[in-house]
Structure 1
Amino acid sequence: MAKKKTKKTNELASNRKARHDYFIEDSLEAGLVLVGTEVKSIRKGSVSLADAYASIHKDEVYVENMHIAPYEEGNRFNVDPLRKRKLLLHKKEIQKLKKSLDQKGKTLVPLKLYLVRGRVKMELGLAQGKKLYDKRQALREKEVNKKLRDLTKY
């Protein structure tokens, strides 16, 4: 029998704040165009998705404000840590995203970075912003679930 190909993924970074601040309606996978020593720095874990967001310019998707720290052994090959990075998506996916981003209050948020067969991929989420009372409600539900879990332990 032939071996089944399994997708081996290694999570490198995640944006936990995104799920707190936004309702994630849809998610998709995109490749990243990286240069120089950025991959080495990402593998080392020197990346932050906290304030990052994605936008569409001229039918191309870019992730902005994603901080990749300069690689220490990279000296002159290092690039600007906050530069715009192009995301690799199919044309139909970009058109679909463009159509859904035209709705009021929608944004593209990076959820996590991971490796698939040695390539760095990003999970993007189509998100709707939460109001303050939505965040409070989510925290209340989280506390109630935690109490229920603690009570059912014994």
Structure 2
Amino acid sequence: MISGKGGLVAVATLLGGTAVIVAGLGAGWFGDEAASDGRDLSRGAAIYADACASCHGASLEGQADWQTARADGRLSAPPHDASGHTWHHSDRLLLDIMRRGTAAVVGGGYASDMPGFGDVYSDDELRDVLAWIKTHWPERERAFQAEASARDPET
């Protein structure tokens, strides 16, 4: 049994802490659901493992020296975690790259190893992959990327 002021403070602290945790779960502070937008994250993870991980890494770490051009003039695959630049770009641009490939999106003779997957996966499947990638970003990067997407909406 809890008695006295110390007991009341302990109960209030416990209840307050529980309320913060419950609110945090609802807000997505403690889990991957914050970035999911209702997408099928397990399907996104499976497609990423099948089509993306061989270049971008199973843990989204990318390839070594991804910011330095190789002898063939191309860049290695960048990381998709917070250390990379994926989160700097809007959903519209990222999905366009996923659909058509980097060279087609950049144009001007730009050469890239990143193929387009629009003939292999549906838009819904590609959106699931992007949602799964976003679940690995800290809140700051997710917020920045959401702003980029708001400034550059899909048509």
TM-score higher than 0.5 here? no
TM-score under structure 2 length normalisation:
0.25
| Largest Rg, 1 or 2 | 2
Structure with a larger share of its residues in strand: 1
Larger RCO, structures 1/2 (Cα 8 Å, 6+ apart)? 1
TM-score under structure 1 length normalisation:
0.25
Structure with a larger share of its residues in helix: 2
